[in-house]
Structure 1
Amino acid sequence: MKYCSIASGSNGNCYYLAKGEDAILIDIGINTKHVEIRMARLGIDPASIKAIFITHEHTDHIRGLSVFSKRYQIPVYITPGSYEGSRLHMPEHLIHLIPPNAQVHIGKLKVMGIPKFHDAKEPCSFVVTDGKVNVSIMTDLGRGCDNVKHVIQHSDVLLLESNFDEQLLENGRYSYFLKNRIRSGWGHISNTTALELFLENRKPRLKHLILGHLSGENNTVELVNELFRPHCDEIVFSIATRYEETEMFEIDEHKQIKVVSVAKHVQTTLVYSETIIYTSSM
């Protein structure tokens, strides 16, 4: 399976997964122009996408959905609550309403919905599998519920939210209401909570940890790296950001991971054992 982050952060999220000719997106929270630019840098043909799966209706997950889906006539899989909350009016033939725990087959891929706690109408995360490898996209987690723990325990590749640093949030400029919304158990998880979930539930099968959905206001790549890197000596570790796409990774049936495509403007800047952090040369 191939996978990458096209965008990850509180201002926009989009993730690509593929098996052979079967390719999907999870969320499309940046505008279509930027999706197309980032795909082009990785050699992805937008017309090759077979389906788009939406986790929930917040703008940073659906901003580019309507234009992209209609331009390339790509079906959208979304829960009824998320579709209602999105206030989008999509062509009927492109919308497929699914329950939060749906299992949808897209060619060789099976996409499994994972219900979760988040302040949206009917949110879910997704695990994508080819029957041998599980790639899990777990962001916008109000808390580490049993579903989240179960997914971590059965992931070969895990993209996990690490949204905010507690001190930056507490001392930052956000309103008291917004701070409480973020840390209420229905918003997002902190760096510390993400680390606890990772350490308590990781299994030997986990080969690649990607931290994502970092807050632009209340987190930094440096803080996340410093916290997690000492615990990732035996796995590939990377941080997905809002500013650029990651490299395209591939994991084979033997659970070996390699980089198969590198965006022209991205350079690898830090390597610690098998720990890799990707940053921009721009």
Structure 2
Amino acid sequence: MKYCALASGSNGNCYYVANEEDAILIDVGINAKHVELRMANVGVDPAAIKAIFITHEHTDHIRGLAVFCKRYQIPVYMTAGSYRGSRLQLPQNLTHIIRRDEYVEIGSLKICGVPKYHDAQEPCSFLVSNGKINIAVLTDIGRICDNVKQVIRQADILLLEANYDEELLDTGSYPFFLKNRIRNGWGHLSNRMALETVLEYRTSRLRHLILGHLSGQNNKVELVRQMFAPHCQQMKLSIATRYEETKLFGGEILSVSYQAALVFPE
């Protein structure tokens, strides 16, 4: 398995996961040109993408979707609510409507929807598995529900949002309604909430924690690293940013013995 964050932040999100010849993207929230440039930086051919999975319809998750999927004729999987909310007119032959808890097979990959709390229409996160290794991409999480807990317990690789520092949000320039939207249980996880979640629900199988979807105004990479690093001595810790892609991770982290992968619904 190989994986990276091509972009992660409140201005755009795009995540790459691959297993041998099968590769997918989760969200295309930056424009198609920047997706291509960042893929080139990590040695990924856009034409190799077999499918795109969309978590929800907010602009920072679909900004480049229409152009990118049409250019490379890539199937798109999203819920009916997300498609309706996106107001996009995607080619019918490329559009696949799924349930929030559905799983889809793309070659050797199984992609399972994870229903969650967020202020969008039918949002879901995704867990990607090759039958041995589980990679969870959990961003835009208003609060921790049982679905999210289950996925974290079975994740070998976890990309989790740490959207805002509570003090920076409280004292920052955002208007009250926006601050409330972020922290009202339908918006995002703070650094503190993300750390408490990892500490409570991670298991011994978690090998790599990636923190992402950091706010540009209400968070700092240094704050996230200082908070999480003391608790990650037994795993790799990375922070994905809005400014550039992460490295392409894979064998150096996954060359260990894993427990059984997640049992998907029949």
Deviations 1:227-270 (A, max 9, x none): 000000110000000000000011446359xxxxxxxxxxxxxx
Name the SS for the 1:167 alignment partner. helix
Name the residue aligned to 2:261.
none
1:207 matched to which residue of 2? Answer: 207
Q: After the TM superposition, which residues 1-282 of structure 1 pair with which residues of structure 2 at under 5 Å, given as runs?
A: 1-251=1-251, 252=254, 254-255=256-257
Could you give the per-residue CA deviations for residues 137-168 of structure 1, whole angstroms, max 9, x where no partner exists?
A: 00000001111111111000000000000010
Per-residue CA shift, 1:201-236, capped at 9, x if unaligned? 110000000000000010000000000000001100
**1:86 and 1:170 mapped to 2: Cα distance?**
30
Aligned-residue Cα RMSD (Å) equals 0.9
What letter is aligned with 2:84?
E
Amino acid at match of 1:40: A
CA distance in 2, matches of 1:255, 1:95: 37
The TM-score normalised by the length of structure 2 is 0.95
Identity over aligned pairs, percent:
66
Q: Distance in 1 between matches of 2:64 and 2:172?
A: 29
* Mapped contact 1:133–1:156 kept (Cα < 8 A): yes
* Aligned partner letter, 1:114: V
- Output the amino acid matched with 1:221: V
Cα distance in 2 for residues equivalent to 1:11 and 1:125? 18
How far, CA to CA, are the matches of 2:211 and 2:43 in structure 1? Answer: 23
Find the aligned partners of 2:208 and 2:152 in 1 and give their Cα distance.
Answer: 11
Structure 2 CA distance, aligned partners of 1:250 and 1:173? 40
Runs of 4+ in 1 over 6 A off after TM superposition: none
Secondary structure of the 1:249 match is coil
- What SS does the corresponding residue of 1:99 show, helix, strand or coil? coil
Instruction: Give the letter for the 2:241 counterpart.
Output: T
Q: Give, in whole Å, the separation in 2 of the partners of 1:5 and 1:228.
A: 19
Task: Tell me the SS of whatever aligns to 1:18.
Answer: strand
Name the SS for the 2:151 alignment partner: helix
The normalised TM-score by structure 1 is 0.90
Could you say which residue in structure 2 is the equivalent of 1:276?
none
Q: In structure 2, give the amino acid aligned to 1:78.
A: M
The answer to whether the 8 A contact 1:207-1:255 is kept is no
Aligned residues: 256
Alpha carbons 1:133, 1:253 under 8 Å: kept: no
Give ranges in structure 2 of 5+ residues lacking alignment: 259-266
Hey, which of these two has a bigger chunk of strand by percent?
1
Deviation at 1:77, TM superposition (A): 0.1
